Amino acid sequence: MTEVTKPGRNEWINKLTAKGEDYELIPGEVWGRKCRLFKNAPPTLREVFEDSRSNETFLVYENERYTFEETQQRVCQIAAILINDYGIQKGDRVALSMRNFPEWVMIFNAITSIGAIAVAMNALWLTDEMAYGLTDSGSKLLFADQERLDRLEPVYKDLGIQVIAIRPQKALHNDIPDLKDLLANSVVSAMPQVDLQPGDPATIFYTSGSTDHPKGVVSCHRNIISALLSWELDIQSRIAELELTPEPPENQPAVLLAVPLFHATGSHAVMLSCYRSQRKMVCMYKWDVEAAAELIEREKIAGFTAPAAMTGDLVETAKRTNRDLSSLMTVGGGGAPRAPDQVKNIAKSFENAMPGTGWGMTETNAIGTGIGGEDYLEHPTSSGRISAVLDIRVMDEQGNELAAGESGELQIRGTSVFQGYWNRPEANTETFVDGWMRTGDVAYVDDEGYLYIVDRIKDLVIRGGENIGCAEVEHALLEHDHILEASVYAVPDERLGEEVGTTLYCSADLSEDDIRSFLLDRIGRFKHPRYITFSSEPLPRIAAGKIDKRQIRKEAHARLGTPG
């Protein structure tokens, strides 16, 4: 008897993207680069939001609950305020800097629905960092909560930017209104008419790199929507491959938002993906594993996506808590790799949940490769296989493509890849090669198409999924009068993946407390070095005269007893 071979992932993706199918792919261009497009994709985010109006619950924050319809009504009000009260036009930049409040979602949706560009500012930034982001992006208007208003205060008058307060807790400047008051005087109406195209820029997300300052990543509506449909396609192909017959859920599908919305994971993979699937999104003010377990039980959360540190916390809580976490079906990851043991522990620790992860970047709108379930358990160190609308290749230093199993720089191209860095032509020239984006990651792809990230070329520390540019921290340290040389590097950490380490050569005796106090007003606390080493001699250098960071990092790891 001839054995019948069941279709695998590639065969199902080919079927689901064929002519006449919902996810049909056609040739096209984005930013002048040839790629594959979803023929039936909504043209812009505006249609994604408008088409999702319903009486299903969408946003939950503490005691507040908003349906998709109520959310969109509020979005229309904010859009009218932006145009009528603040003169925001197509292409203008409007910044958001706040915690994961429902207003973040509503404001983001309003900005992108009228053709303006949403500037998602890192809520962990301090005063100088906020000033840089607002100035660099040229934002005309800022929405900020009280914590961010306090940080903005020292430079507010100098920046000359218009500001709207979100949930203020103090008296405001006369020229800073409370959004709540503006909404009270605004009539609910239809979305203002704007000529909006798929290729229009929609967002600027800032990402840390090997330069002193974060860079603004510019993406258009098509970039983002391509990522959303790619995740849908991956789910549908997996269901078909495993011959699953999903039963109608007893409760509305729900996800827990515990990662910041100013990251593409939070805004795209969690928030925006809720619209077409009509999922309820439960927002957390900040990460608290005990509160997360309570929310999972109370709201019947089915999905949770977060960096390894947070999913690891939840695994430990699941082992010792009496909370009913049986509603949890998927525990996704990203931002930093999980230890193989945690992959196995997710499957063991939850009654129904299976682990998942992926590799993506702000520059790819969080999409890239993905893996989950039994596939992930069998390949626990892999980041998965490539999305259907993207291509990857691995290159050596001479620009030659490497064979399967050989490590080199990972490069990527396709529909979700961003336009370029805002006002950084030199960075764009360095990043793009013949339409391919250089990721700065060292990787290999095996014979089955599974991606493995093994190192990075870029000088970064990835702490709990947060990218920290070593050069930025070095720059802040070198502002100290007595720090003559500074080298910043990653130190492995069991919970966060990596922590910040530094070796300093100083002209006077300084303590670790001196260093951390000095940095308090210069860079966010998450960027502060946890490990500080003082050298009595100038730092070693390579033949070209640059500091020998590899040797310094190796010596530091030897002292700390961490793998180097």
d(CA 377, CA 356): 9
Nearest Cα neighbor of 230 from 124, 389, 99 is 389
DSSP state of 138: T
Looking at 171, 187, 218, which one is the last position of a domain?
218
Please check whether residue 186 lies inside any domain of the structure.
yes
- Amino acid (1-letter code) at residue 386: I
The whole-angstrom distance between residue 154's C-alpha and the CA centroid of its chain comes to 29
How many domains in the chain? 2
- Residues 237/387, Cβ–Cβ less than 8 Å: no
- 24 burial via Cβ count (<10 Å: 0-12, 13-18, 19+): middle
**Statement: residue 303 has pLDDT above 50:** yes
What digits encode the pLDDT tens for the residues 313-368?
898 888 888 889 999 999 988 766 677 777 888 888 888 888 898 999 999 999 99
- Write out the DSSP string of 83-121: HHTT---TT-EEEEE-SS-HHHHHHHHHHHHTT-EEEE-
- Structure-token pair, residue 292: 């997360």
3-state secondary structure of 372: strand
- Amino acid (1-letter code) at residue 176: I
Please check whether residue 164 lies inside any domain of the structure.
yes
Per-residue 3-state assignment (H helix, E strand, C coil) for 464-525: CCEEEEHHHHHHHHCCCCCEEEEEEEEEEECCCEEEEEEEEEECCCCCHHHHHHHHCCCCCH
What digits encode the pLDDT tens for the residues 107-117?
999 999 999 99
- Residues 41/50, Cβ–Cβ less than 8 Å: no
3-state secondary structure of 255: strand
Looking at 218, 235, 250, which one is the last position of a domain?
218
Computed over every residue of the chain, the mean pLDDT equals 91
- Structure-token pair, residue 80: 């009218």
Tokens 């619209």 locate to 275
C-alpha distances in angstroms, 255 versus 23, 273, 318, 331? 24, 10, 17, 10
pLDDT at res. 1: 43
Please check whether residue 255 lies inside any domain of the structure.
no
What digits encode the pLDDT tens for the residues 93-130?
999 999 999 999 999 999 999 999 999 999 999 999 99
**Statement: residue 191 has pLDDT above 80:** yes
- CATH code of the domain in which 153 resides: 3.40.50.980
- Write out the DSSP string of 48-63: HHHTT--SSEEEEETT
pLDDT at res. 216: 97
Range of the domain at 506: 461-560
Confidence of residue 519 (pLDDT cuts 50, 70, 90): very high
Please check whether residue 226 lies inside any domain of the structure.
no
pTM: 0.87
Looking at 174, 189, 218, which one is the last position of a domain?
218
User: From the DSSP assignment, how many helices (H) and strands (E) are in the chain?
Assistant: 19, 28
What digits encode the pLDDT tens for the residues 67-77?
999 999 999 99
